[in-house]
Every structure is written in structure tokens, then in C-alpha cells.
Amino acid sequence: MATTLTQGWELTKRAKDGIFLVTFFDADGKRKRLSTGARSEREAYAKAPQIVAGKTAKQIAKVELVTKADPEIVQPVMTMNDIFDHCEKTVWRNHRAMHTLKSNVRILRRICGYDLVTEMHYMRLEEIQDQLFKLGGRKGKKRAAPGTVKRKMDTLSKALSTATRMQGPDKKPILFAKPPMPSLVVNNLQDRVLTDAEIAAIFKVIEARHLAQPGANWKRFGYFVRFLLDTACRKGEALMVEDSWIEERPDGMVFIHWPQYLPGVVGPDGQPVHTTKNGQPKSLPASKAIKDMLPFLRMNAVNGRLFPQHKSTMDLKWIEVRKAVKKTGMNIDDVKFHTLRHTKITALVKAGKELPKVSKFAGHSNIGITMKRYAHLSPNDLAGLVD
């Protein structure tokens, strides 16, 4: 017999032993048929959704065994979903990147949410890491980037660490020791910096585009690129700048102030949206080029925003610029908006500016990040240290 359900799975009864099987398609579109371990149709109906979600009949049976036992004697069996629930309600409640965290947890729940906490051993963690790679990445890539996988594995690692600090009714830890996490090498260092010739070529292309298409906001895009290059801001930080954040002082100095939260805006999680990556307010002095562009930006601001474009619009324009620069004989295919930030900070370090000041300018949470990521010294840079 077969019973087709609206949830997208089907129950069939195996003739030889009367056990109900559940048939469904997994996240990769592969057809699966798994045992519910139940001979009762009612019991099979209750177990089927859990099996489709990733829990095995064996795991369900363990949980049922524990719930029937005396909780004073038997240590309760907890799943990773239980740990994620606890973390979200307590230790992660005020996480600074809540939207990213929830996205990571949502994906981890799909992969290992019904795994028993006590069965999260090294080999299982390797399987989870491999599954995260297979989920694919942005722009249709078949495998996710190492950095993307590492962020999710870091979330899982923190959840397991929390489990070692949680106690059951018998006052014993839910997890006695966190298993070792699989190694994952991620090279996030942006070594690429723009040369003066490349920078000149970029602005030359933007100017040509502006003359050819005066109504396509190329002038404002050029100002956006200059703003990134002079402030070392991240793309998102620049796109949210408002006119009210600009302070013009009597002595002629102009400062840009990023508040801690974007005024009047909340994210999908209902929490205020930070304006900077480290969640802290920051202030930067404006260069002469930025001061000169302010009248135009203010005149063309939308709802107070100096750069009222969507990030995808900026990305498309940047792709056009790279293609045009390539036609001049310079290949900047590997250059991203973040390269502008890296170029500025590296220039400050090579110019001998004090690292604490450079770190504050970059908006890093500590000077160690600045030293690790941006203090790249070539043999020529060290030449002045010897007689």
C-alpha cells in the first residue's frame, strides 16, 4: 500500500515484515527510501517528517527510550537542534551579525539538526564539512568557498563548546568534551594592491563612460570609487552614508561619522542594523577630493543617502570598468571593491604611519588584525633598516 502526502513524501509498507518506509527527494534532488522502523501506520506518520528532515529511525528510538525513562536516572538525549535553540536564546541573543548567524544555523539545522550531540565525533564533523562544500556557492559555483564553509563550521564549533557547559538533570555535562574540528585552510588575505597607473586607468574609463552616458550616474560612481579609495571603507559602509553624518568644522576640517546603528532600520531578525563590520561607531576625516564632491552628492542625495544605489548596481558598473581597463592592456580582473580598501591601508603602512592610528582608520577591532592583514613588507620596504 502507498499513501501520498501533501508534504512531499510517501509512505509504503514493506511486505516481508510490515515495516513502513518513507520515500522522498533530498536537498540534492536524489530519491531516497528509508525505514521508519514502525509497523503502525499512525506511528509511521509521526516519524516520517523527522526522517525526511534528516533524523534516522535509530535516533528517534533513542529519544523515545529516554523520554519514557526516569529523567533522574537517565541522561536526556539531546540533538543539535536543542543546542542551537539554547544558543539562540542565550549566548547568541545579542550577536552583532545576527542575520549571518541565523543563516548559518538554518543551514546547519538542515544538515545535522537531528544528530545526537553525543554522536558528533570527528568523522561526522568531516561529513558535515563536506556537505557544506557540496551545497555550492554564490554565482552558480558547484562548491562553496572555504571561507563560507569555515564560518558555518565555526558556528557549529561554538555550539558544541556551549554544550560542554550545559548540564542535564543529573548535573553532568551534556557533552563531556568537544570533538576536534576538521582542519580547513582559508586564505582570506587580500595581497592585491592597485598601482598608480591602474588607478589612473580606472578613473579615465569612468570619465569616458560619464561623457558617453551622462544620464547613467557614472559621475556619482566615480565619486563612489574615490570615496572608497580615500576612506578605506567597505562597500556597504559607503553605501549607507547619509548627509547628516557629515560634520563640517569651522577650521575647514570635514569628518564623516558612522553611528553604531543605522537610524530607524532593523534587520530581518528585528534587531538594529550596525553601520560598521565591528559593530562600533567610527569617524574619519574627509580628503580634499571628498570635500570637493560633497556639493554634488548632497544635491543628488535620495532620502539623505549620498550614494543611493543598490550594491548590485555598483557591482555591474565595476565589471564594466574592469573590462574597459583590460582593453587598455591592464588586467584588473582580480580587483574588487575591497582591493581599494586594501590599497589605501597598505599605502598608509608603507608610508610609515603609526599602526595604532592606521588600525583605527581601518576600523579594526584590534591592532593585531592590522598587522596580520595589511602590514605586507617586501624586501625593498626593509632596505632602510640596514646601513
Range of the domain at 125: 80-164
Angle at 38 between CA 37 and CA 43, to 5 degrees: 135
* Position 191 in a domain: no
What are φ and ψ of residue 21, in 5° steps? Answer: -115, 150
Q: Do 280 and 322 belong together in one domain?
A: yes
Q: For residue 231, what is the domain's CATH number?
A: 1.10.443.10
Predicted confidence at residue 366, as pLDDT, reads 82
**Residues of the chain where predicted confidence (pLDDT) is lower than 70:** 1-8, 42, 46, 57-58, 61-77, 96, 137-141, 169-170, 185-190, 268-269, 374-387
Q: Do 277 and 375 belong together in one domain?
A: yes
Predicted confidence at residue 322, as pLDDT, reads 96
How far, CA to CA in Å, does 199 sit from each of 239, 325, 340, 341, 351? 21, 10, 9, 13, 18
* Position 185 in a domain: no
Residue 184 CB-half CA count within 13 A: 24
Q: Do 93 and 232 belong together in one domain?
A: no
Q: Do 124 and 9 belong together in one domain?
A: no
SS3 of residue 141 by DSSP: coil
* Position 249 in a domain: yes
Which one-letter DSSP state was computed for residue 335?
-
Contacts of 306 (CB under 8 A, 6+ apart): 241, 242, 243, 297, 298
* Position 189 in a domain: no
* Position 221 in a domain: yes
**Could you identify the residue written with the cell 550596525?**
274
d(C-alpha 54, C-alpha 122), whole Å: 19
Contacts of 308 (CB under 8 A, 6+ apart): 301, 302
Q: Do 358 and 225 belong together in one domain?
A: yes
* Length of the chain in terms of residues written: 387
**Could you identify the residue written with the cell 633598516?**
385
* Position 62 in a domain: no
d(C-alpha 281, C-alpha 274), whole Å: 9
Predicted confidence at residue 184, as pLDDT, reads 79
* Angle, in degrees to the nearest 10, between helices 337-350 and 218-231: 40
Q: Do 284 and 363 belong together in one domain?
A: yes
Indicate the residue among 108, 143, 164 that finishes a domain. 164
If one counts the domains in the chain, the total is 3
C-alpha cell at 325: 581597463
Which one-letter DSSP state was computed for residue 369?
H
Q: Do 113 and 233 belong together in one domain?
A: no
How far, CA to CA in Å, does 142 sit from each of 114, 135, 264, 376? 26, 7, 38, 33
Predicted confidence at residue 162, as pLDDT, reads 92
d(C-alpha 4, C-alpha 24), whole Å: 10
Q: Do 254 and 312 belong together in one domain?
A: yes
Predicted confidence at residue 234, as pLDDT, reads 93
pLDDT tens, 74-118? 445 688 999 999 999 888 887 767 778 888 999 999 888 888 888
Spacing of C-alpha 37 from chain mean position: 39
Q: Do 272 and 332 belong together in one domain?
A: yes
Q: Minimal CA–CA distance to 343: which of 167, 194, 178, 156?
A: 194
Q: Do 296 and 336 belong together in one domain?
A: yes
Predicted confidence at residue 5, as pLDDT, reads 38
* Position 59 in a domain: no
Q: Do 28 and 98 belong together in one domain?
A: no
Q: Minimal CA–CA distance to 197: which of 295, 64, 330, 297?
A: 330
How far, CA to CA in Å, does 66 sit from each of 59, 62, 172? 11, 6, 16
* Position 183 in a domain: no
Q: Do 42 and 132 belong together in one domain?
A: no
Indicate the residue among 117, 147, 164 that finishes a domain. 164
